[in-house]
Structure 1
Amino acid sequence: MTRTKWITCLAVLGWATVEGGWVAPPPNPNEEIMNRLLGYMDNKADLCKDYQKYAGGKYMEKHEGDNYSELLGEMQSKVEDRFATIFEALSTQILLDPESVEAKVLRFYQTCRTANETTRSERHYLELVEPDLTFTWPQFASSRRAWPKTQFQWMLTLARLRRFGFDNLLVKVNVKLDYVDSSKYMVTIERPTFDYSTDKLQVFSMTKRLLIRLGVDSGRAASLARSIRRLEKAIRALANVEDEPNDDLTLRELEGQNGLPWREYLRIVFGRTFPENYEVQIENVDYFVELSNLLKTYDSEVIATYMMAKFARFMKDTSQSDKDNVALDCVKDVRLHMDFGSNFVYESKYFSHYDTDVQQLFNAVKAPLLAKIDANRLRLSPRQRAYVKQKIEAMKLNLGNKPKDQNHRAFVTNFYRDLSLAKDQDYAAAQLKVLEVRSSRVLELLNQPAVKGNSFYHLENTVMTSSPEPFYLKRVNTIVLPTDILQSPYFDPQSHDIFKVSFLGFMLAQRLMEALMPDEIVYDADGNPNELLVGLAENQNYVQSLNCLKRSHTDYLDQRVVDVSALNLAYETYFGAGSKYSQAQPTFTRLPLQQVFFLNYAQNLIGDEEYVDFSSASTDKVRLHHTLANLPSFGQAYSCPSGGLNPSSRCAVW
């Protein structure tokens, strides 16, 4: 064989050459995943009593010294490392078009990495964003008397802050889908929420120190700290009421009710005028009357100080990086603030076209759910059953949170069309510009029909930390799947189907089952409210299923319903009567397919629980064990004795 033919033969076999010798072929994805699973196992554990320890007892040992403690964190860490490599490569490109998405994303990253410490201070945000075009914040005036308190109008200052996406102060104004018609957007007005610690002022001593950092005289800071904390306490009391139905009111009616300058507020926020007969959707109208009356009892300086303290904290809390300008922290900042741009840059480098593979998996998981709906365990009426089937059949999967009917580069280029970042080291200025552009895109939704189908992408005002997990949006009946998970060894198109169904298939099944929970099922296939299944929570068969699941106490019953139902659905997808997947024993392992399925599924819920926040969910061990215990196939797969994870009776919902 000639040398040319020999190299050709090696290329066909998937081998590669480097100067100085041959290198091994790329690893087999099935062997790679299987070796990973086996490496985490603790064979000494009693799997029929503690499957989490059996499946993942050595996880932390294998990842000692890593900056994550569970699988989702591991995925994000790998993606963040890739981003750091991308930015390093982009920074060496001399001919990078300064108007390209890559250049704008890189500029924000570089500003974060080189920022002067003073440009990260809370005070600097207030120096850049003033309460009015004609005067500054109280502490920056030459004297207390010099600050024009009679000119201060809190609604107009609030509008200026809202342009940067700060929408949870005193009032919440946003652009959302019409409550009853998901084909159009409306201006929505709601009371603020205080659900998280970041929504509230900190304790007195920390609030006082914040005010001093913002430039308030130390002798005045204590008094103002007490006053603004007292004000927030009063606002929280006003906002702590049950949700009331949305009212469609004209701006004339709204201003007549509470006396607030809504048209001027909207003019500043949107940059255009609104007629007085323009309709908005408002929730809890009485709150705004009471808020207006409350603020009339407070001095303008106190109100302004409260607003600036909340805004400064919002900006600092939104940032993931600090004065050390650490590369991976700046990666997180870019992903948070410029999610559409960073997604494009990442997918251009690392993401292959997985759409077909993932869509096929999604359709496969749907099939047994539709069969369960037909079997009608809950004894739904024919109309109800048809409604639920239509909702599931119409549900879409959006991969990577981008429109399918547009060129990806064209979409993100247009999204950041008016973003211009200076080549300086001012982090706060760059962050404000990025947030203002993002907020502008949200506000612009008001001028267009609702994005649906192949045009859909998810955009909301509040910036959210990235997560690899898919999420369900009930108003558009769509599951959005971030691309973080689409990397080896978590998802590989060339791997065996057992790995795809047991891991990503289970995640998609969770979102499908979430769509059938009482609060979500009342939205139909188009995302509009429908009364046909308003009474699901009172359905006798549904209640019996919940009572069964509650025999072992949990404060998170909805989560248990979703987990138990989703594992059953994923298992049926692969092993059920209508499965399209091969049941033949693979060559890469001697373990039966059923055991491989459970091992790979368990990766969702292993890791070091000491470092995971379970304040709003059951622990991973509780979730894993209760889910397995309610699937008869688990006990059968491992020949477990009766009891423990192989109980004599089990629960099911759908």
Structure 2
Amino acid sequence: MMGSRPFLSLSWLLLLGSAVCSTNPNLEIMKRMLDDMDEKAEPCHNFYNSSQKNLQWKEFATVSDQFQLLFDGIENEVFEKDSFEEKLQRFYKICLTKKRPSQLKFFELVPLGEDITWPFLTPAGSEWPKEKFKWIEALARLRRYGINDVMFGMSVRQDADSGQAIVVFEKKFDFLLRFMESLQNIGLPPNLAKEIAPLDKALQEMYKLDMNWEYNGNTAPGHRISLRELENYGVYLTKYLEIVFRRPFSPDFVVQVENLYYIMGLYELMTAVPSQVMATYLAARFNFYIMFTFMKHGGSCVTSMRHTMEFASNLLFEERILGRRKLRSYQNQAGKIFDAMRKQIHIRLERNSLELPAAMISTLQQKLNGLSLSIGNLPGKAGHRRFVTRFYKDLEFADDETSATAHLKVLEHRTRAELSILDQPNFRDRRYVIHSLPISNHFFETAIEENENTIYVAYDLLADDAFDTDSHDIFKMTPLGIRFTMEMLKSLDLYNCKRYKVNMLEMFDDNQIITAGDNCLSLLSQENANSQREQYLVVLHLVHEAYFAEDSKFSQRQPNFTTMSLTELFFFRFGQSSFGETLYSTSDFVEGGQPTNSLTRLPDFVRAFNCLAPEQELK
């Protein structure tokens, strides 16, 4: 094992600390990197401490401060009546000036049904009419406001076969949410927690059992099925759709049910659960949802505006903060990485190491070529201002609007827009993302829209010094190249082994990283930590290949601001990114001991840090 060499001389360290940093983005980035690194740790043995001393990763930076300046500026501006600017300003002022409404107000505005309210709103001395409660209809009413991860999910997508819009039902349970734990942290009374906990646990177990069914290679029948035929299985979804879409549906209307046995099991489970328990569970989920979609963060309404009126906020940010020059710079820099990663995927599709049918490869290539990139989640084909104006055309606020009614109007407007593609012949032209709520971390990073035609990059991700026009290409490539590659593979549905009957990721594994082989059963039974680690390593190698390829358009010049090689910089950037943190926490963390280093499985890493003799690299 060869020892590590020093990465920077003392003179360079002094230089990095000088005032020059303020004018040279490369020096500023290097200074931050070095501040976070432990030079005494050897990358081969202890990569995580070497790249991120004390294993303390920093929070992801956002541009919310700049959005705050934007909203401060428009608060008292005079806008044209009924313009999207006026609507955004109106909603912002409602958030600022109105007191946070009582949660009970939302339940009063969104009853369980036409003539049934929530159990806790029943007048004293009266009995809650449990016989009128229909859980599927109550769930439909909540779906109008964007709730789509309770019991099951319903969305509208492009049918891969016909190209037409189709309604899709699928099982949903967000295990990362820790719903019950979160509710107790925000003050859910213990008696209510005790009442609904068994139902939450039963839903979890049913989800897991269905996953095990799929792992064993079983597939539920009737993926394409009419509403009438579904009733033969004891599944009644017609009324659900009619409530959500506010229009009648024919019994012959065909939907796609991804997990029919799960949906059947859900109906069976609900017959055994008392109506009041179901209603209380839905109330807890609704309460949690409302809190996290209209919450003042540190007394500021900016994050709420960015979440709920994203397109209006983004357009004003683009016009007033970014400007055309910077937006074009972002598009060019991100587009260069986007094209490079698409090329690497094309190379391996063309190579076709799994010997897939030519027609399948051609379809994947066409899909890949059709992908577009969106900066700031605004569609690029038509004018951004025209798009935003049309998007908010039907959103109206009354003069006496309350916080609660305004909030619900915005949420319902977002849901109508999300589901409108069912009745729009040109829905395939949609090139933007309508995020599901509560907002995930992807809101400030990258995401792919529902029909998987467009990959979106948030302004927050590009606000880093790495995307200064004078920054070295190596800083831009990691981690953005990783994000793009993972989204591209997702857009091709290549993580879906069940669809292709083979582990498609193997086609991109140049280093025999994947241990499960190409068998779906082996892949699905693999521990999640192993699966995620292998995905990260395969993708990281593709990004490395894209940057250092012979025909690469990225700078191969040794930078004059460090003695580190470009390959060393590449891997340290990964180690300091959220991807490095995730790999550490989900795969390489060792309780009470030194972390393992999965990256030594990559020959690229081994060569970069001289970890092993050449003949040992492939062992």
TM-score (norm 1): 0.74
- Structure 1 counterpart of 2:83, from 81, 100, 115: 100
Question: Runs of 5+ in structure 2 lacking a partner?
Answer: 1-18, 215-219
Determine the structure 1 residue equivalent to 2:530.
557
How do 1:616-631 and structure 2 match up within 5 A? 625-627=597-599, 629-631=600-602
- Structure 1 counterpart of 2:173, from 180, 193, 207: 193
Determine the structure 2 residue equivalent to 1:603.
576
Question: Is the CA contact 2:495–2:505 (under 8 Å) kept in the aligned structure 1?
Answer: no
- Secondary structure of the 2:333 match is helix
Aligned amino acid, residue 459 of structure 1: I
Distance 1:510-1:308 versus aligned 2 partners, 3 A rule: closer
Pairwise CA distance, 1:438: 0.8
Separation in 2, partners of 1:257, 1:366: 43
- Secondary structure of the 1:74 match is coil
Separation in 1, partners of 2:579, 2:251: 57
Determine the structure 1 residue equivalent to 2:291.
316
Separation in 2, partners of 1:423, 1:372: 59
**What is the number of equivalent residue pairs in this alignment?**
578
Determine the structure 1 residue equivalent to 2:46.
50
Question: Is the CA contact 2:486–2:539 (under 8 Å) kept in the aligned structure 1?
Answer: yes
Determine the structure 1 residue equivalent to 2:147.
166
State the identity %: 30
Pairwise CA distance, 1:516: 7.5
Distance 1:451-1:521 versus aligned 2 partners, 3 A rule: farther
Separation in 1, partners of 2:273, 2:611: 69
Aligned amino acid, residue 137 of structure 2: L
Pairwise CA distance, 1:447: 0.6
Question: Is the CA contact 2:146–2:436 (under 8 Å) kept in the aligned structure 1?
Answer: yes
- Secondary structure of the 1:258 match is coil
Distance 1:568-1:140 versus aligned 2 partners, 3 A rule: closer
Once the two structures are superposed, residues 254-273 of structure 1 have per-residue CA deviations (whole angstroms, 9 ceiling, x without a partner) of: 3454274x433322211111
Determine the structure 2 residue equivalent to 1:408.
384
Aligned amino acid, residue 163 of structure 2: S
- Secondary structure of the 1:547 match is coil
Determine the structure 1 residue equivalent to 2:545.
572
Question: Is the CA contact 2:345–2:508 (under 8 Å) kept in the aligned structure 1?
Answer: no
Question: Runs of 5+ in structure 1 lacking a partner?
Answer: 1-22, 61-68, 212-220, 523-528
Relative to structure 2, which stretch is displaced further, 385-394 or 138-147? 385-394
- Secondary structure of the 2:256 match is strand
Pairwise CA distance, 1:433: 1.8
**Structure 1 residue 642 and structure 2 residue 612: aligned?**
yes
Once the two structures are superposed, residues 569-592 of structure 1 have per-residue CA deviations (whole angstroms, 9 ceiling, x without a partner) of: 333333322223443444455544
Question: Is the CA contact 2:541–2:604 (under 8 Å) kept in the aligned structure 1?
Answer: no
Separation in 2, partners of 1:401, 1:597: 28
Determine the structure 2 residue equivalent to 1:4.
none
Question: Is the CA contact 1:340–1:412 (under 8 Å) kept in the aligned structure 2?
Answer: yes
Distance 1:650-1:414 versus aligned 2 partners, 3 A rule: farther
Determine the structure 1 residue equivalent to 2:95.
112
Determine the structure 2 residue equivalent to 1:157.
138
Separation in 1, partners of 2:31, 2:568: 14
Determine the structure 2 residue equivalent to 1:82.
66
Distance 1:624-1:492 versus aligned 2 partners, 3 A rule: farther
- Secondary structure of the 2:386 match is helix
Separation in 1, partners of 2:148, 2:482: 35
- Secondary structure of the 1:519 match is coil
How do 1:173-572 and structure 2 match up within 5 A? 173-178=154-159, 180-181=160-161, 183-193=163-173, 195-199=175-179, 210=188, 222=191, 228-233=196-201, 240-241=209-210, 242=213, 244-255=220-231, 257-258=233-234, 260=236, 262-288=237-263, 291-292=266-267, 294-296=269-271, 300-321=275-296, 326-327=299-300, 330-351=301-322, 352-353=327-328, 354-374=330-350, 389=365, 392-421=368-397, 426-449=402-425, 451-452=427-428, 455-459=430-434, 461-467=436-442, 468-472=444-448, 476=452, 478-512=454-488, 519-520=495-496, 531=500, 534=502, 536=504, 545-547=513-515, 555-572=528-545
Aligned amino acid, residue 404 of structure 2: A
Question: Is the CA contact 2:88–2:313 (under 8 Å) kept in the aligned structure 1?
Answer: yes
Separation in 2, partners of 1:623, 1:369: 31
- Secondary structure of the 1:188 match is strand
Question: Is the CA contact 1:248–1:280 (under 8 Å) kept in the aligned structure 2?
Answer: yes
Distance 1:490-1:267 versus aligned 2 partners, 3 A rule: same
**Structure 1 residue 91 and structure 2 residue 64: aligned?**
no
Determine the structure 2 residue equivalent to 1:6.
none
Question: Is the CA contact 2:306–2:313 (under 8 Å) kept in the aligned structure 1?
Answer: yes
Pairwise CA distance, 1:228: 4.3
Question: Is the CA contact 2:588–2:598 (under 8 Å) kept in the aligned structure 1?
Answer: no
- Secondary structure of the 1:333 match is helix
Question: Is the CA contact 2:495–2:504 (under 8 Å) kept in the aligned structure 1?
Answer: no
Q: Tell me the C-alpha RMSD between the 2 structures.
A: 4.4
TM-score (norm 2): 0.78
- Secondary structure of the 1:176 match is strand
Aligned amino acid, residue 275 of structure 1: S
Relative to structure 2, which stretch is displaced further, 23-32 or 438-447? 23-32
Pairwise CA distance, 1:535: 5.6
Distance 1:487-1:38 versus aligned 2 partners, 3 A rule: same
Separation in 1, partners of 2:462, 2:598: 28
Once the two structures are superposed, residues 393-433 of structure 1 have per-residue CA deviations (whole angstroms, 9 ceiling, x without a partner) of: 44433333332212112222222222234567944333222
Relative to structure 2, which stretch is displaced further, 241-250 or 284-293? 284-293
Pairwise CA distance, 1:564: 2.2
Once the two structures are superposed, residues 223-282 of structure 1 have per-residue CA deviations (whole angstroms, 9 ceiling, x without a partner) of: x7655445555555555424525533323333454274x433322211111222222223
- Secondary structure of the 1:556 match is helix
Question: Is the CA contact 1:438–1:461 (under 8 Å) kept in the aligned structure 2?
Answer: no
Aligned amino acid, residue 268 of structure 1: I
Separation in 1, partners of 2:435, 2:246: 19
Question: Is the CA contact 2:146–2:412 (under 8 Å) kept in the aligned structure 1?
Answer: yes
Pairwise CA distance, 1:86: 1.3
Question: Is the CA contact 1:149–1:301 (under 8 Å) kept in the aligned structure 2?
Answer: yes
Aligned amino acid, residue 86 of structure 1: L
Question: Is the CA contact 2:157–2:451 (under 8 Å) kept in the aligned structure 1?
Answer: no
Separation in 2, partners of 1:290, 1:111: 43
Pairwise CA distance, 1:137: 2.5
Separation in 1, partners of 2:450, 2:420: 22
Pairwise CA distance, 1:484: 1.6
Separation in 1, partners of 2:453, 2:307: 24
Pairwise CA distance, 1:98: 5.0
Determine the structure 1 residue equivalent to 2:556.
583
Once the two structures are superposed, residues 98-150 of structure 1 have per-residue CA deviations (whole angstroms, 9 ceiling, x without a partner) of: 53333333443443344424x1x332221221223344333323345454444
Separation in 1, partners of 2:49, 2:545: 25
Pairwise CA distance, 1:441: 1.0
Separation in 2, partners of 1:56, 1:206: 31
Aligned amino acid, residue 174 of structure 1: S
Question: Is the CA contact 1:499–1:600 (under 8 Å) kept in the aligned structure 2?
Answer: yes
Separation in 2, partners of 1:170, 1:605: 30
Once the two structures are superposed, residues 413-472 of structure 1 have per-residue CA deviations (whole angstroms, 9 ceiling, x without a partner) of: 22222223456794433322221111111221211246446x422235544234343345
Determine the structure 2 residue equivalent to 1:131.
112
Separation in 2, partners of 1:622, 1:478: 41
Relative to structure 2, which stretch is displaced further, 466-475 or 395-404? 466-475
Question: Is the CA contact 1:252–1:276 (under 8 Å) kept in the aligned structure 2?
Answer: yes
Question: Is the CA contact 1:335–1:466 (under 8 Å) kept in the aligned structure 2?
Answer: no
Distance 1:581-1:246 versus aligned 2 partners, 3 A rule: same
Pairwise CA distance, 1:489: 0.5
Distance 1:158-1:372 versus aligned 2 partners, 3 A rule: closer
Separation in 2, partners of 1:376, 1:194: 35
Larger Rg: 1
